[in-house]
Amino acid sequence: MIPVLITRRVSRRLLGGGQRGNDRKEMAWRGHLSRNLKELRFLYCQTSSASTQAREFVHRNYKDLKTLNPKLPILIRECSGVEPQLWARYEMGVERCVRLDGLTEAQINKKLEELVKAGEALKA
């Protein structure tokens, strides 16, 4: 019973405070990052406006993602002039990239969820 309470509290934080609803569903895939991925990389420019949403997403979500997946390498790569990207590395060196240019934080979250689910499909 205690893990459920802790999970729901963390999930509300991940959703941006007091939002309720799909707490368990939200937590389910975020907690499975390390099961389906070998590495997660965020690439973005430190100063460009195209990378603003990617920077904000990392700033707001890194701590919680790392707390839920302590053994998963989550790498942040800042490089001047680079387009914002999210890379997922799966088993046997398979990698997938998603461009984050022009996406909102909610859309970035959805793209991350899709990458996690793709990793689950690769295992099957």
| pLDDT band at residue 77 using 50, 70 and 90 as cut-offs | very high
Assigned token pair, 90: 């799966």
Cα separation, 53 vs 47, in Å, equals 11
Higher per-residue confidence, 3 vs 52:
52
Is residue 27 located within the same domain as residue 38?
no
The closest alpha carbon to 29, from 113, 123, 95, belongs to 113
Per-residue pLDDT at 7:
40
The closest alpha carbon to 105, from 54, 71, 69, belongs to 54
Is residue 38 located within the same domain as residue 95?
yes
Over residues 77-105, the mean pLDDT reads 96
Query: Between the CA of residue 41 and those of 1, 6, 58, what are the distances in Å?
Result: 34, 27, 10
Is residue 58 located within the same domain as residue 3?
no
Cα separation, 55 vs 78, in Å, equals 9
Is residue 27 located within the same domain as residue 40?
no
Is residue 46 located within the same domain as residue 105?
yes
Cα separation, 70 vs 39, in Å, equals 12
| pLDDT band at residue 21 using 50, 70 and 90 as cut-offs | very low
Cβ neighbours of 81 (radius 10 Å): 10
Count of domains for the chain = 2
Where in the sequence is the domain holding 105, given as residue range(s)? Answer: 34-123
| pLDDT band at residue 27 using 50, 70 and 90 as cut-offs | low
Query: Between the CA of residue 111 and those of 64, 81, 97, 99, what are the distances in Å?
Result: 17, 22, 10, 9
Q: What is the mean pLDDT of the chain?
A: 84
Is residue 2 located within the same domain as residue 51?
no
CB 43, CB 79: distance < 8 Å:
yes
Over residues 69-91, the mean pLDDT reads 96
